[in-house]
Amino acid sequence: MIFSKIKEYFLQKALKHSSKEDRGVMLAKTIKRVGILTLKELNDEYDFKEKVKRVFPEYRSVNCYSYRDFNKTDEKSFTCFSEKDFDWRGEIKDNSLQSFVNESFDVLICYFDSNHVFLESLVQQSKAHFKIGFSNINQSLFDLEISESIKNVDSFNLELKKYLQILGNQQA
């Protein structure tokens, strides 16, 4: 219990520190690799990976990682993580999660619409070139924010597609 609070403290501290840093943003002309970060419950309900593949069939690789609350009965998964995958300093200790964070995705799409320290930490640490998320989260995390409800995933994806086309045309 106390270690959980310590983890959250260190992650919040890192998030506040990162918000002061300004990073250059570069959207690739052709998007080939997409990463998705979300909550397990939301992914079970909406199946974001399939929705992204339907809206963007030209994307070759779509990888999804979801947060789920720790439960001793859950089996180890390479698509889910929990608070136990972070040490007491808030650093990632799971190799598959670290690989996901180190992957240089062309786009990272974050399907969560409320503050979540573990998901926000992964967004902040991600090596993705362009990060997209909902507008009511931490503004310093995303390069593009879309104001939409999580219940309107299809509308969010259509807006996302429109903005990516606009940004792609300006760079060409």
CATH number at residue 112: 3.40.50
3-state secondary structure the chain: CHHHHHHHHHHHHHHHHHCCCCCCCCCCCCCCEEEEEEEHHHHHHHCHHHHHHHHCCCCCEEEEEEECCCCCCCCCCCCEECHHHECCCCCECCHHHHHHHHCCCCEEEEECCCCCHHHHHHHHHCCCCCEEEECCCCCCCCCEEECCCCCCHHHHHHHHHHHHHHHHHHHC
Q: Tell me: the pLDDT tens digits for 39-95?
A: 999 999 999 999 999 988 888 899 999 999 999 999 988 999 999 999 988 899 999
Beta bridge partners of 38: 66, 111
Total domain count, the chain: 1
Instruction: Tokens 């506040």: give the residue.
Output: 16
pTM (2 decimals)? Answer: 0.86
How far the first Cα of the chain sits from its last, in Å, is: 52
Quote the domain boundaries for residue 28.
2-171
Q: Tell me: the pLDDT tens digits for 123-168?
A: 999 999 999 999 988 888 999 999 999 999 999 999 999 999 888 7
Backbone phi, psi, residue 146, to 5°:
-120, 130
C-alpha separations of 121 from 2, 84, 154 in Å: 19, 14, 26
